[in-house]
């Protein structure tokens, strides 16, 4: 990205180009990009299953989808992203129970992730962007609803991020390994300091694992931007909630995972924030 005026924060990029005019853009999508856009709602539907079942310990691949009220097993015609929900007007075809906006919302979010990915990258790189963003989306949603970051999602991100360096940025592999160690130990140290200072828990172990996973993707140089960006997003969200009328006290719990996930994906896409001198 082009540098901003002196004293302002600019974004470094992990890409070989460094100008907005060189982005892929939605008007120059290759075949892999179109395939990703077509598949994104299907992936989003599966993400919905992960978000619903994983925190409850239910099987992801073998348990058939069914209506949560009448228990009727859903057929293929009931599981087509967007179309099935619209055709049934947001209700179960069998008992008429409203099924809510959850699945269409996750499918739409996945489609947005795919659109951003193909706008910024071509071929396999766009799929990589989307894959990282999709897992982060699931983690953010689960943490927002249940206050947990499942190891089943955070831990696989670590080897995945290191392996992703091999075809695209082999020279960054060592820095990413350092990022894993620094991300985990750094946040654990911050959590320990907060606990000693305030006498209560402030950050969970899942947050440390998520930051370690972020380090595997953005390297040690990107971790400060992830942590700073996540903190700023959390503060702005807390401020917005307070303005909206929600009581926000010093001990009000606000999951940090969604903000870390958002910051990690932004840093992965656009690079760490750097300060240019006067």
Burial (Cβ within 10 Å: 0-12, 13-18, ≥19) of residue 118: buried
Q: Does the structure show a pLDDT above 50 at 6?
A: no
Residues 6+ apart with CB under 8 A from 109: 44, 137
Q: How does pLDDT run across 57-100, given as a tens digit for each residue?
A: 887 876 667 777 676 777 777 778 878 878 777 788 777 788 78
Burial (Cβ within 10 Å: 0-12, 13-18, ≥19) of residue 151: exposed
Instruction: Name the more confident of 117 and 275.
Output: 117
Angle among Cα 187, 190, 191 to the nearest 5 degrees reads 85
What's the confidence (pLDDT) of residue 112?
A: 97
Confidence of residue 114 (pLDDT cuts 50, 70, 90): very high
89: left (phi over 0), alpha (psi -120 to 50) or beta: left
What's the confidence (pLDDT) of residue 4?
A: 24
Given a contact cutoff of 8 angstroms between Cβ atoms, the answer to whether 271 and 222 are in contact is yes
Q: How does pLDDT run across 168-213, given as a tens digit for each residue?
A: 788 899 999 999 999 999 888 887 776 776 666 657 789 999 999 9
Alpha-carbon distance of 234 to 243, in angstroms, equals 14
Instruction: Name the more confident of 256 and 201.
Output: 256
What is the helix (H) or strand (E) element at residue 275, kind and residue range?
strand 273-275
Strand partners, 73: 66
Alpha-carbon distance of 241 to 10, in angstroms, equals 29
Q: What is the mean pLDDT of residues 135-140?
A: 98
Which of the 8 DSSP states describes residue 231?
Answer: H
Predicted TM-score of the model (pTM)? 0.85
What's the confidence (pLDDT) of residue 57?
A: 85
Alpha-carbon distance of 64 to 72, in angstroms, equals 10
What's the confidence (pLDDT) of residue 1?
A: 29
Alpha-carbon distance of 203 to 36, in angstroms, equals 35
- % the chain with pLDDT above 90: 52
Instruction: Name the more confident of 17 and 225.
Output: 225
Cβ neighbour number for residue 27 with a 10 Å cutoff: 6
Quick one: which of 258, 273, 270 has its CA closest to 109?
258
Given a contact cutoff of 8 angstroms between Cβ atoms, the answer to whether 192 and 177 are in contact is no
What is the helix (H) or strand (E) element at residue 9, kind and residue range?
strand 9-11
């Amino acid at each position: 990205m082009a540098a901003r005026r002196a004293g302002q924060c600019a974004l470094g990029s992990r890409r070989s180009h460094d100008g907005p005019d060189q982005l892929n853009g939605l008007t120059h999508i290759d075949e892999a990009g179109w395939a990703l856009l077509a598949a994104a709602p299907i992936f989003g539907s599966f993400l919905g299953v992960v978000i619903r079942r994983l925190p409850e310990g239910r099987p992801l691949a073998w348990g058939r989808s069914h209506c949560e009220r009448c228990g009727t097993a859903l057929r293929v015609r009931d599981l087509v992203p967007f179309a099935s929900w619209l055709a049934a007007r947001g209700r179960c075809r069998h008992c008429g129970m409203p099924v809510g906006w959850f699945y269409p919302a996750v499918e739409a979010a996945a489609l947005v992730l795919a659109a951003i990915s193909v706008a910024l990258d071509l071929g396999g790189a766009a799929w990589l962007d989307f894959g990282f963003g999709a897992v982060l989306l699931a983690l953010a949603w689960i943490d927002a609803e249940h206050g947990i970051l499942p190891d089943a999602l955070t831990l696989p991100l670590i080897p995945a991020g290191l392996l992703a360096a091999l075809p695209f940025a082999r020279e960054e592999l060592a820095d990413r390994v350092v990022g894993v160690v620094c991300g985990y130990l750094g946040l654990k140290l911050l959590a320990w300091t907060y606990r000693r200072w305030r006498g209560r828990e402030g950050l969970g172990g899942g947050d440390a694992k998520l930051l370690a996973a972020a380090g595997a993707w953005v390297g040690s140089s990107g971790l400060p931007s992830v942590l700073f960006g996540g903190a700023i997003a959390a503060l702005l969200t807390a401020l917005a909630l307070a303005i909206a009328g929600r009581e926000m006290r010093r001990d009000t719990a606000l999951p940090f995972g969604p903000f870390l996930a958002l910051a990690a994906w932004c840093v992965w896409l656009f690079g760490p924030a750097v300060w240019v001198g006067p």
